[in-house]
Chains A and B, each alone.
Chain A
Amino acid sequence: MPAMSATPPPRSQDATILLLHDARAVHDTASIRLRDYMLQGTPGWIAANILPGARSGSGTIPGASIDANTGKLRNPNNAAPELLKEGRWKAVASSSPAQETASGEYAWSEPVGQVKRIPDPEDYYSPFVEGGEILCQPVKGPQGIEQFGPVRLLFTGWGEFVGPAFGFLQSHPSLLSPGVPAPSEVSQLAEVLSGKNPLLALLAFRHLLTAHQLTTRQAQDRLNSSGANLTAGLVYLLITNPSLDDQKRPLVEAVPAFVKDASKITQLRPVGLAAYAVGLLDIANPAALAETKRVVAALSDRTKALGPDAETDPYLHLIFEKMGVAR
C-alpha cells in the first residue's frame, strides 16, 4: 500500500501527486462544516467524482501562437500564461434524489503564477486537474471554481457517508452546533464518535475536541479502532486544535503515545500523512506547525524501531523527504 488513496479518481499514479491528494483530503474532510451546505435549513449538496479532461492542468497563452516561419512568439495582447481546468463531474450522492445521477462539464482557466498571501489547498492539489471525489454545492451563474460552491476534497469513497451524515444532522440539529454541548449531547457525540460512519465520527471528534469535552481515553480508543483515512483525520484534528483533556493534559499527547505503541507501519502512515497535511496546508497555524515537528520526530524514531521494512516504507519515506526530515 504505497498510497492510501484508491484509484480512480486521482488520475495520476505519481506518488507525489497521490500524497498531495491525500493531504488535501485530510485537510478538507477534517474541515467540513455541514452547515456550509445547508440552504435555509435544507441540505443542498452533491458528492461527485471529478474526471479531468486530457488538457486539464496544462497551460496556454490566450491568443498567442508561434509563427511557424520565423519561430517567433506571436502574443498580440501580451497575454500571460493561463492554467486550464476542464473535464466532467459525475454525482455519486446528492441531497436531492433527482441529482443523484447528475453530471456535467466544467472548463475555465486561471492566471498562472498568481501570488497569494496564503496559498489555497487548490493550489497544491486540484481535483479539477488531477481528479478526486468532492463535496460541493453547484450554483448557477458563477464561472470558474465558484460554480461548485464550497469545494471539499473527500477521502476516496467517502461520498457514501455524506448522505447519512446530513440525515443525522437534520435529526439532531443542535448536536453539531457551535458552542459547548450539553451533558446529554456529549453522550450522544460519544456514541457518534464510536459509530460506523467515519465522516460523522470525524465531525463528532472535532466537536468534542474544540468544545474541550474529549477525553484522552476517547481519543486513544478511536485512534486504535479506525481505518487509515479516519486515523489521519483524527491526528490532523489533534495537531491543529490545541486542547486539554479532562485531566488538563494536552490531548495532542495522544498522538506520540499512539505512535510509540504502533506495531505496524500501516498505523504510522496516517500519522505521517496528517503531519504532512498540517505542514503543507496549515501554514497560518504556528502552534500546529510546531506540534507537527514533535510528531514527525516521534514518527521517525518509531519507524527506526520497527526495523528495515518500516524504515524503507515508500509512503513514509516520501513524506519524510517532502518534509525535509533528515534520516
Chain B
Amino acid sequence: MGNGDSASTPASNPSPAQSLSSATSDSATQSAAGDAGSSVVTCGTPADAPAGQPAPAAQKAHLVVQVKDCSGKAVQGVNVAVSGKGWNGVTDASGKFDFGDENPDTYTVTGLLTATSTPASQTLAAPAGQTTQYNLVICNITIEIQINNTGTANDDIVQVKCAHPAHRHKVPCQIKIASGAAHDHQITLGNPDGRLRFPESGDTTKNVTLPAAGTWVAFEISGENASNAIGDAVIQATLGAACPDGGAGNVGDVKGSKPATVFWFDAAEIKMTPGGNYVISGNLYTPNAGHAIDHSAKATIKPAGVDCSTPQVKDLRVGIMQLALQGVQRTMTWSNPTIAWVAGTAAGTSTTVPASIVFKRNHPVNANDSAGAVDPLYDQPGHPHVTIDANSVQVPGGCAGGGAAATSSDTPSGGAAPATVNLPASTAAGVNVGTVTYTLTSTKIDLDFLVWAVIFNKSTNQFCAVRERSWNLHADSAAAGDQKAKTDAADRAPTTDPVGGQPFSNDVLNDPANKSTTQVGSTVFTK
C-alpha cells in the first residue's frame, strides 16, 4: 500500500482504533500555514489534489503525505506528522510518506524540515475507503556559504579583533542559493554565540538578497570573541522575510549554516632582561658588554588545530615594537674650564666664562623606535646595518616550526662625545683673549620606552599588540652605583597602541631642531 516506494506502515503507532462514526467522507477542510485563505500553498502552481482513490480497506481511510518545494521538487527527509495523533515519519526520495490506514476523520498533517523551521501543514478530511493525499509545500531552498571564498574548510577562520590598535581582521565570504528557489530571497546572516561580526563591531547580523539564479553575494566576517574550539562560531543564514516562493517558512527559519573559527593568540609574553652597567668606552657611554636590554616575545595561536598554512595565518609572525617616549633623552656636560690666554694678554686681565656647557638632545614627541627597513617593527631580520637580531621575528607557537621566542635588544648609547670642547673667548669688539677648554664631566641618558609583543602580518605590515611592558634607562656617567636599564616587574595586557611609521625616534633625536646648547654658571679667570 502507499505511494511510490514509501513505507507501507506509519513509523510509530499508526493504527489507533477510532470510531467509524467520527469519520467524515466528503467534507474536507483544507488550510495551509502562512497562506490563510488559500486552499493549498502552491508556489505559483497548484498543489496536487487529493488522490480520491479507493482504499483497500473499505472501513478505513488511507493517509499519504507528499512534500515538495516551491519548484515542485520532491523533498526528502521532512519530518511529517499527524497532529494530535503521534503518527509520524520521514519523507522518502519521492517526498512521500504513507501513514497507512486509519479511521476516517479530518486530520492535520504537518511537515517540518528542520527543528527551527516553521512547519507546513494541511488539514483535510480523510474519507473511508479512499486514499487521501496531504500535499505540503515547504520553503526548501538550499544555501551555500563559503568563508574566504573557498569551498575548503581549513580556511574557515578569522582572527579575533585587535584592541591595540583597534581594528578588525576581515575575511571575505560569499553566499548563494544552491537550489530550490523560484524568487530572490531575503536572508539574514547571524551568529548566535556572538563570536562573529558582519564585519563591523555593531554588525551582529547582515541582510543580503540572494538571487534565485544562484549568483554569489559577497559579505565579510570579522572575529569578535575567541573560539574555544575549531568550528564553534557558526554562521547562520535565516529567512529575512517570508518565503517569497510561498510555502511554509517564516522569518528566522534557518536555511543554511557554516561553522567558522575565531582564532586568537594565547600565552603571549614580552620579557625584558636588563644588561650590563653603563661605562664610558671610547667616545661612547654604553653598557660594559653586550646590550642595555634584551627583548623576548612569544605567542601561541589558539584554538588548537588552526591551519597555519591558510592565507589568514601564513603571514602572521610574532614580533616586537618599541615606542620611545617624549622627554630630554641625552645630556652631555662639559665643565672644569681652563683658559689658554692669547699671547700678549696683559697680566691682571679678567674674563668670565660659563662654568659648564650643556648639550641636550630632546625627544619632544613619542616616536616609533624603528628604521625604514624594519618598520613598523622594532627589528626584523635580513637588513644589514639595521637588523639587530636575526631572530627578531618568529612563527607563532601552535604552527609548524613555530614557538621560538622573537628576540632583539637595545643598546642606546650617549652618542659619541668628545672628551674636551674648546671655545674662543673674545670681547664685544671681536678681540680674542684666549681659548677656553671644557672637559666632559657627565653623559646622561634618560630614556623611557613602551615595548609590545605583537602579531605582525609580514605581507600587509598590519600589527596587533598582545602584551605590553615598560622599561627605562636613566644613567649618568658622573653618578655612583649601578647605571643600567630597569623594567617593569611583569608584562601586562596592552593598554596603549603601538605606533608604526615615521617619525623614527633616532631621527627625532638627531633633528637639529631638537638640539640645544646652553651654559650653566660662570667662572672668572684672571691672568
Binding site for B on A (CB under 8 A): 16-17, 20, 55, 57-61, 64-73, 75, 78-81, 83-84, 110-119, 123-126, 129, 276, 279-280, 283-284, 286, 289, 292, 322-324
Contacts and interface: CB of A to CB of B under 8 A. Distances in A.
A264 B282 CA distance: 29
A119 B426 contact: no
A118 B408 CA distance: 12
Contacts of A289: 290-291
A68 B407 contact: no
Interface string B287-310: 011110010000000000000000
B480 interface: no
Given A60-B422, A112-B417, A117-B386, A276 B289 contact: yes
B422 A68 contact: no
B186 interface: no
A6 B110 CA distance: 105
A81 B421 contact: yes
8 contacts: A64-B517, A66-B424, A67-B427, A71-B354, A75-B517, A118-B386, A119-B284, A286-B294
A235 to B, nearest CB: 16
Nearest to A85: B418
Which 3 pairs from chain A and chain B are nearest by CB?
A71-B352, A113-B415, A59-B418
B506 A283 contact: no
Given A113-B361, A289-B290, A322-B279, A66 B426 contact: yes
A71 B522 contact: yes
Given A66-B354, A322-B288, A113 B359 contact: yes
B483 to A, nearest CB: 11
Interface in B418-439: 418-428, 433-434, 436-437
Nearest to B434: A68
B207 interface: no
Contacts of A112: 332, 359, 415-418
- The interface centre, meaning the residue of B282, B411, B434 with most chain A CB atoms within 10 A of its CB, is B282
A283 B361 contact: no
B277 interface: yes
Contacts of B266: none
B289 A80 contact: no
A292 B289 contact: yes
Contact of B416 (A64, A79, A83, A284): A83
A119 B427 CA distance: 40
Nearest to B509: A115
Nearest to A110: B416
Contact of B411 (A16, A72, A129, A283): A283
B388 A283 contact: yes
Nearest to A323: B289
Contact of A66 (B279, B415, B425, B524): B425
A116 B414 CA distance: 10
A292 B142 CA distance: 67
Interface string B499-527: 00000001001101001111100111000
B375 to A, nearest CB: 12
B419 A57 contact: yes
Contacts of B424: 65-66
A111 B517 CA distance: 13
B391 A286 contact: yes
A57 B420 CA distance: 8
A23 B102 CA distance: 105
Contact of B425 (A68, A75, A81, A125): A68
Interface string B346-367: 0000011110010101000000
B289 A324 contact: yes
A108 B410 CA distance: 30
Nearest to A20: B282
B15 interface: no
Given A112-B415, A117-B371, A324-B277, A65 B423 contact: yes
- The interface centre, meaning the residue of A58, A68, A114, A276 with most chain B CB atoms within 10 A of its CB, is A68
Given A17-B282, A119-B411, A67 B388 contact: no
B416 A324 contact: no
B510 A111 contact: yes
B50 interface: no
Contact of B281 (A67, A72, A124): A124
A81 to B, nearest CB: 5
Given A83-B283, A113-B359, A283-B290, 7 more contacts: A61-B421, A68-B427, A68-B433, A69-B352, A113-B414, A115-B412, A118-B385
Nearest to A319: B289
B276 interface: yes
B352 to A, nearest CB: 3
B491 to A, nearest CB: 20
Contacts of A322: 279, 281, 288-289
